[in-house]
Amino acid sequence: MSPTPPAPVPSPLTAPYWAACGRGRLALQRCGGCARFVHFPEPSCPFCGGDDLAYERVDGRGTVHTFSVVHRSFLPGFAPPYVIAWIDLPEGARAFGDIVGRAPETVRIGQAVRADLSGPLPHWRPA
């Protein structure tokens, strides 16, 4: 397997998200109708049906909602064991990604994490 993780393939819907990541920032869609954050990117708001979804920067803090330790990877660039997790953001949205910078067996539900946008793919690190 190649040691390089897959590169993002932006679509018109996700291009602003990936562009923000490329600038080291986390930006999520926010609905102009109901003000809720929406993630993953959607063409219309799953809460109110509105289509006024602009990207807005968020600060990248979160807490681990749940996680899994992957011991057999099928993704290039992700050496097992590694942790994949759903991350609750204080903005009300939930993100998905891997947690790096800590031994997998030490990750806990409720743990504070912060987005690491230093590479082409977002990661999460213990805060």
Q: Which residues bind Zn ion (CB under 5 A)?
A: 31, 33-34, 45, 47-48, 50
Minimum CB–partner distance for residue 32 and Zn ion (Å): 8
Minimum CB–partner distance for residue 121 and Zn ion (Å): 28
Give the integer Cα–Cα distance in Å for 44 and 42.
5
In the bound state with Zn ion, the residue whose beta carbon lies nearer, of 49 and 101, is: 49
Minimum CB–partner distance for residue 16 and Zn ion (Å): 17
Minimum CB–partner distance for residue 77 and Zn ion (Å): 35
CA distances from 59 to 9, 48, 84 (A): 23, 25, 20
Phi, psi torsion values for 68, nearest 5 degrees:
-140, 145
The token pair at 80 is 């097992």
In the bound state with Zn ion, the residue whose beta carbon lies nearer, of 36 and 125, is: 36
Give the integer Cα–Cα distance in Å for 124 and 119.
11
In the bound state with Zn ion, the residue whose beta carbon lies nearer, of 47 and 86, is: 47
Burial 8-25 (b: 16+ CB within 10 A, else e): eeeeeebebbbebbeeeb
In the bound state with Zn ion, the residue whose beta carbon lies nearer, of 31 and 87, is: 31
